A and B are shown apart, each in its own frame.
Chain A
Amino acid sequence: MKERALTIVSIIAALALFVGAPQIVNAYWLGVALQLLSGIALTQSWVAFSGLTGYVSLGHAVFYGAGAYVMALLWQSAALWEILVASGFTAAALALLIGYPALRVRGPYFVILTLGLSELCKYVVIAIEAALESSGRLLFDTPDPVFLYYIMLLLAVLATLLTWGLARSRWGAGLRAIREDETAASTVGVPVTFLKIMAFVLSAFIPGVVGAVWVLRTTFFEPMQLFSPTTSFTIVTMAVIGGSDGAPGPIFGAAFIVILSELLWARAPQFYLVLLGILLISFVLFIPRGIYGQLTALAQRRRA
């Protein structure tokens, strides 16, 4: 009971901190906070599907890139909210299209297939842009960063609620059953294909909107970089480091990576990537449950 109260108080405190941040920090640190929130939103969405089902998707960069592309195409020709919603639905539709064939394979085949499909989508967009004789798209008169920050905060909260709700639901139990043993789950009547595809589609919506917000921040769209597979790798890294079996993990993972990158990128950019590699390997080998999983395990052990 006491623990539960503590959790609620800390959630409220964290939320208040995020809501008040634009009044407290300068523009630069607000930019860092924006990165943190986008990290949380992306990783939560990924965990909602990959963390629960065990299907490791390396294709989330596509949803992010597709959202950014929709924003770049429609900016200033429709209301911001309309474009944001369109970005989310485009990403979700793409997930349905990709998910239907891709979710027929498992394990390493699924990982490679999502990576391959995301590269395919990237080159399709490059070809479309070439055919349209577009040479990158500049976005003018984009909204104030504080405004973008609040949209991103909303997305991070929604993504956290999605993972939290999903993890506790009957649907989430079904997804976990798929992760543990898909054949067994199917045998006992879990509608595996339906659950998987729906979770995949749901987990694509928010990255689409995040990409759309991010391109407003970058003010320039160029497919090679906004569809870069690095986005997918970063999401997976955050999930592995934070823990991927529920909503708290991604928050820890995103915070860890964003803070680490903040401490190191300006001073030792080469070292940062090396350290990230070492950390990732160490977590996979020694702390597979991630920071949050390890903390809960430690707490439980102490109680026992």
Chain B
Amino acid sequence: MSFRNFALKAVLAAAALSVALPSYAADPVKIGVGIAKTGPFAPAAIPTLNAYQMWADDLNAKGGMDVAGTKRPIQLVVYDDQSDFTKEAAIYEKLITDDKVDLLLSPYATPFHFAIVGVLERYKFPMVGSTAASVQLRTIKPGNIWFPTSAIPDKMGPELVSLMKKQGVKTVSISTLQSPFAQEMEKYVKAALTDSGIKLLSSQQYAMDVKDMTSIVSAIKKEQPDAVLSLSFPADSILFMKAAREQGLTAPFQFVLVGPTADFFGKIFGKNLDGVMTMGHWSPYQTKWPKGMPFFEAYSKKFNQAPDYLDVALAYMSCEITEAAVAKVGLDKEKLRKEISSTTFDTIDGPVKFTGVENSTTPTMFLQIQDGKPQIVWPPKEETAPFQKKGPWVN
């Protein structure tokens, strides 16, 4: 074969290939994310980034994202914020102005969401949030950010007290981490306890750098409360549960705010996690939400660990909402804003509709780990299993 002949064949083959791949000839939809891949938030943030990645991979495997009728491949542009929210505004500004992304997904945790509110506003760039919850989010002007969570402290406080009343709780002891979200929760639980008939035995706060909770737990144990609320984040939730296990805390109602929904909690505490209550509004065992279990199974298979029932579910919901809105109206910011503000979206967590910046359809719920599975035990109309008293800790 002469060189000329070879060259001709090569050109023809290339031409044939380019005809054979019409769907990937489309420009990719660039989707930007700034998230903690390193630093103290990384262990909790990476599972949510995994949810984004799984969503993008699945869509690409199906030929791409539906942009108002045209399928286009997805390209995620991810930057590490190093768990420092003061870097987040610059990162999202870079994504918008330098990388010129078409869409944005949210960072991990409340302060990081709050840090980019100004940037989204300035560039009129709509983004569906995920792992952020605070009563403060209602002060944000609606239109560029929405929060799919229903775990907002001023709603959770009264609901938690109602649940305790229903379970016959007469006395409660609270310990609270000095961190914005936990403190908000403490405030609204305490407000709801007044005139509830439940007696608050003690309430104490501790600093972020707490290394041991033995003395806090032993003081609570002495009070013999019916309910113990540990308003804690993953690191101190572990300290609390370890101390509770060592000392055999016997309260029948034990609530741990953030942590028990994460896969590694099951690995650390095994059977001891059974009976522990926590916040959350998603369970794959809710048969009303048919998308839930397939998502749970796909995620568990792909990453070899269960998704966090709170954070990962929220991250995935934000993808589902973005996907549905783009399928309908394309990438135009103004149309997206209208679509996200007005439509009811079908997600793994059931229907979601926003009023202002807030999810107004999903009720506030609580989960209890039973036989290693997250079951919804409150409110009664969403229940996937009845509440069970916390059994004895095993060492």
**Which A residues form the contact surface with B (CB < 8 A)?**
26-29, 31-32, 35, 123, 126-127, 130, 133-136, 138-140, 142, 144-145, 214, 217-220, 222, 224-226, 228, 230, 265-266, 269-270
Pick the contact of B118 from A29, A126, A136, A142 — CB < 8 Å?
A142
Q: Which residue of B is nearest A231, CB measured?
A: B86
Q: Please count how many residues in chain B sit with their CB below 8 Å of the partner chain's CB atoms.
A: 38
Residue pair B37, A138 in contact (C-beta under 8 Å): no
Task: A121 to B136: give the CA distance in the assembly, Å.
Answer: 25
Residue pair B117, A219 in contact (C-beta under 8 Å): yes
Contacts of A225 in B (CB 8 A): 84-86, 111
Contacts of B114 in A (CB 8 A): 136, 138, 219-220
Interface stretch of the complex, out of B22-30, B48-56, B175-183, B281-289: B175-183
Q: Which residue of A is nearest B134, CB measured?
A: A135
Contacts of A270 in B (CB 8 A): 38
> Known contacts A130-B178, A133-B187; is A214 also within 8 Å of B86 by CB?
yes
Give me 13 A-to-B residue pairs in the complex whose CB atoms sit less than 8 angstroms apart, sorted by A's number. Answer: A26-B98, A27-B96, A134-B180, A135-B136, A140-B140, A140-B141, A142-B118, A218-B89, A219-B117, A220-B115, A222-B180, A228-B84, A270-B38
Task: A218 to B86: give the CA distance in the assembly, Å.
Answer: 6
Is B79 an interface residue when CB atoms closer than 8 A count as contact?
yes
Residue pair A126, B178 in contact (C-beta under 8 Å): yes
Contacts of B90 in A (CB 8 A): 28, 31-32, 35
Residue pair B80, A269 in contact (C-beta under 8 Å): yes
- In the complex, which residues 53-89 of chain B have their Cβ closer than 8 Å to any Cβ of chain A? 79-80, 82, 84-86, 88-89
B 83-114 to A, binary, CB cutoff 8 A, 1 in contact else 0: 01110111001101110000000000011001
Residue pair B184, A27 in contact (C-beta under 8 Å): no
If A26-B97, A123-B207, A220-B114 are given as contacts, then 16 extra A-B residue pairs at C-beta distance below 8 Å, sorted by A number, are A28-B94, A31-B90, A126-B178, A127-B178, A133-B187, A136-B110, A136-B136, A138-B139, A138-B140, A142-B118, A225-B111, A226-B86, A228-B84, A265-B82, A269-B37, A269-B38
- In the complex, which residues 199-227 of chain B have their Cβ closer than 8 Å to any Cβ of chain A? 205, 207-208
Contacts of B96 in A (CB 8 A): 27
Q: Which of A228, A266, A270 gathers the greatest number of chain B CB atoms within 10 Å?
A: A266
CB distance from B114 to the nearest CB of A (A): 4
CB distance from B222 to the nearest CB of A (A): 25
Residue pair B82, A269 in contact (C-beta under 8 Å): yes
Query: Lowest 9 CB-CB distances: which A-B pairs, in order?
Result: A135-B180, A219-B118, A28-B98, A220-B114, A269-B80, A27-B97, A28-B94, A31-B90, A136-B180
Q: Which residue of B is nearest A228, CB measured?
A: B84
Pick the contact of B93 from A31, A136, A214 — CB < 8 Å?
A31
Residue pair B111, A220 in contact (C-beta under 8 Å): yes
Pick the contact of A136 from B80, B111, B122 — CB < 8 Å?
B111
CB distance from B45 to the nearest CB of A (A): 13
Contacts of A134 in B (CB 8 A): 180
CB distance from B204 to the nearest CB of A (A): 12
CB distance from A26 to the nearest CB of B (A): 5
Contacts of B140 in A (CB 8 A): 138, 140
Contacts of A138 in B (CB 8 A): 114, 117, 136, 139-140
> Known contacts A27-B97, A136-B110, A138-B136; is A130 also within 8 Å of B205 by CB?
yes
Pick the contact of B85 from A29, A126, A220, A230 — CB < 8 Å?
A220
Contacts of A265 in B (CB 8 A): 79-80, 82
Residue pair B97, A28 in contact (C-beta under 8 Å): yes
Q: Which residue of A is nearest B140, CB measured?
A: A138
Contacts of B111 in A (CB 8 A): 136, 220, 222, 225
Contacts of B98 in A (CB 8 A): 26, 28-29
CB distance from B187 to the nearest CB of A (A): 6
CB distance from A52 to the nearest CB of B (A): 29
CB distance from A262 to the nearest CB of B (A): 10
Pick the contact of A222 from B85, B118, B187 — CB < 8 Å?
B85
Residue pair B86, A135 in contact (C-beta under 8 Å): no
Contacts of A29 in B (CB 8 A): 98
CB distance from A232 to the nearest CB of B (A): 14
Task: A183 to B388: give the CA distance in the assembly, Å.
Answer: 73
> Known contacts A136-B110, A220-B111; is A266 also within 8 Å of B79 by CB?
yes
Task: A224 to B134: give the CA distance in the assembly, Å.
Answer: 17
Q: Which residue of B is nearest A142, CB measured?
A: B118
Contacts of A31 in B (CB 8 A): 89-90, 93-94
